[in-house]
Structure 1
Amino acid sequence: MVHRRELKGTELVFGNQGDLYGNAMTWFDHGTGSIWSQPRGEAILGPLTGERLELLPSTLTTWQAWTTANPQTLALDVEGWPTGFHLEDMAVVVDMGGAATAYSFEELQRSGVVNDEVAGVPVAIVIDPQDTNRWAVFSRQLDDVVVELSFVQAGLIDIATGTSFDPFSGVGVAGPLRDQSLDRLPAFTAFPDDYARFFPAGTMWPG
């Protein structure tokens, strides 16, 4: 997950605090010494207790899937280290601040795309059927239209208009909504048990 470091006009500088909170890492900010929970991006101790950082769109995927979509990407170490993480054991979490919903990869891989609402926001959670390591979460609100997405012959299609969208970028590639873009929403991956620990009021799809 990726958070914006700016809080109320102040740019924060973080370090690894070294302790675990709910079996997850914690940070400290150099300015106030406040302790932050990494999964929630929330200060849990110190002067900034209760403040939350803005969650930014990001993705956890394979190097091959990423460079296929972003061939100009540079990396310090393309070999990396084994993480022990397997996407099929995890869930995509959509956290809208006031509400959160988790979608298991196992279910998403069967569905391909899920049209849902989180905190009143129409969302689509999409896994590319050509490469199930590629996933994205989009707002289905496009100006005054709410699209309903489905995979048809390996293409991501708005059922009402027949517009075809790129499943990774959300850009319309053919049809009436061509060249219009679905807004990508912040989301992250988590193990279901960790999600339940940090978002006790959150829901799992399907409910």
Structure 2
Amino acid sequence: MRRRRLLGALGAATAAGIAGCTAGYRGGVGRDRVRPPTGGAPVRLPVPWEAMRHPLPRDAIPAIVEPAFAADWSGLDPAVVGRDGLGAGAAVVGVERDGEARAYPLAVLDRHEVVNDSLGGPLLVTYCPLCGSAIAAERRVGGWPTRFGVSGSLWRSDLVLYDEATGSLWSQLLATAIRGPRTGDQLRLVPSRLTSWGAWRDAHPDTTVLLPPPHSGTIDGSRPYEYDDKYPYADERQLVGFDGSGGSGGSGPGVLGRSTLVVGIVSDGVTRAYPHFVVHEAGGLVEDRVGDLPVAVATTPGGGLAAYDRHVDGTTLHFAAVDGPDGEALRAGGSRWSRESGRATGGPHAGQRLRRANEIAPLFWHAWRAFHPETEAYGVTGDE
């Protein structure tokens, strides 16, 4: 039930000084190109203004700048959070840093898209409803903390942010400045997970969760919305092929739809996406090799996907699914490993944690392919 609810939920003004100046360029493979931190082919910069869409003015979607947290949503006004509040199956972005865990519900992110937080240092948490993409990164530009907001522009159907310090425009999925004084700079990514509130809370009992406005303050102090999992972008999602089924979303068996949930891995020049329905139909676990990297890709109790490096202590482990395709654990090397956290909960590796094989959380197939056109898709016969 959690898996179906999460996958359904996933379906769920120009800044000053952005004349294309490349002063301060420091990253990438050349003065006018940058290799994304998430892998893939170099991108030519700056991105032309006419190559972007500009449907809204800056801050029309108000970023959260004063986040507030609590153990749960109990006691919040039902007129704001709905009669059921934050249910166990509600989709969240989870971040764990310096031993502290926080959850950011999509019911809030879908309406605000950007959260300026501090967790183990300045933290930026973003979500693009059109791409189903969640990105967390250090909230620094030029080495200094700054706030980010929603520019109102889209590039490759993905959220474009701006930073207050320089007015540069940033591609969410590239975590890279694509126009403005910091063109070519890249944000340092922070691991995040797309999962359900119940699964995240089970794996992190001491977690806190982001509270919706008015408890959290927004960049313009705007009135709160209703945060009850009724998403406001249904029409736009129809334009990008969102079907909400959690299945392939394609035109036939084994065919990828634009809104199919995938996890992408880049290693040694190889780029590969693993669709949720393929991994689920394989019993909830796929072992593979991406370049020289041996990987285990598994469905999780929270309805998402997890990808791990199978190297542990210099040995390549072979994993087996425990408790079926949506079970709680994997088994390898004599230990039981949590699918959700990658931590060994018993046996000779108890307390160790698998290294993640993916740089960013699972997202829609059309978004992954737009930024990784050379990608392979595991186990499918075609796509729309």
TM band (smaller chain): 0.7 to 0.9
Where does the alignment leave 5 or more consecutive residues of structure 2 unmatched?
1-134, 213-226, 235-241, 248-259
Secondary structure, in 3 states, of the residue corresponding to 1:91?
strand
Q: Could you say which residue in structure 1 is the equivalent of 2:121?
A: none
2:208 partner SS = coil
1:146 aligns with 316
Structure 1 counterpart SS, 2:362? strand
Q: 1:94 aligns with which of 265, 268, 272?
A: 265
Tell me the CA shift for residue 134 of structure 1. Answer: 4.7
Q: How many residues were matched structurally?
A: 203
What is the 5 A alignment of 1:43-58?
Answer: 43-58=177-192
CA distance in 2, matches of 1:114, 1:153: 15
Amino acid at match of 2:296: A
Name the SS for the 1:20 alignment partner: strand
Q: 1:40 aligns with which of 158, 168, 174?
A: 174
Q: CA deviation at 1:27?
A: 0.5
The answer to which structure, 1 or 2, has the higher relative contact order (CA under 8 A, 6+ apart) is 2
- The TM-score with structure 2 as length reference comes to 0.47
Partner of 2:298: 126
Q: Secondary structure at the match of 2:149?
A: strand
Correspondence 1:59-78 to 2 at 5 A:
59-75=193-209, 76-77=211-212
- Distance of 1:206 and 1:40 partners within structure 2: 26
> 1:37·1:44 contact (CA, 8 Å) conserved in 2?
yes
Distance (Å, rounded) in 2 between the aligned partners of 1:47 and 1:60: 32
Deviation string for 1:53-102 (max 9, x for gaps)? 2332212222222223233333315x643346745431122356965422
- Partner of 1:151: helix, strand, or coil? strand
Query: Please, which of 324, 327, 338 is the counterpart of residue 166 of structure 1?
Result: 338
User: Do the aligned residues in 2 keep the contact of 1:3 with 1:53 (CA within 8 Å)?
Assistant: yes
Q: Distance in 2 between matches of 1:206 and 1:8?
A: 42
Tell me how far 1:23 sits from its aligned partner.
Answer: 1.2
In the alignment, what sits opposite 1:188?
Answer: 361
| Residues 181, 74 of structure 1: alpha-carbon distance in 2 compared, 3 angstrom cutoff | closer
Partner of 1:156: 330
Aligned to 1:20: 154
1:116 partner amino acid: D
Kindly name which structure, 1 or 2, has the bigger radius of gyration based on alpha carbons: 2
Letter in 2 for 1:157: R
Please point out which of 146, 156, 179 is paired with 2:351.
179
**Equivalent-residue separation in structure 2 for 1:118 and 1:56 (angstroms):** 22
Maintained 8 Å contact 1:94/1:188: no
Kindly state the Cα deviation for residue 132 of structure 1 after the two structures are TM-superposed: 5.4
User: Which secondary structure does the structure 2 equivalent of 1:67 belong to?
Assistant: helix
Contact 1:139 1:182 in 2 (8 A): yes
Q: From 81, 86, 106, give the equivalent of 2:229.
A: 81
Give the drift of 1:206: 3.1
State the superposition RMSD in angstroms: 2.8
Who is 1:115 aligned against? 287
Q: Which moved more, 1:179-188 or 1:195-204?
A: 179-188
Name the amino acid aligned to 1:204.
A
Distance 1:137 1:64, change over 3 A: same
Residue 201 in structure 1 maps to residue 374 in structure 2: yes
Partner of 2:370, secondary structure, is helix
TM-score by length of 1: 0.81
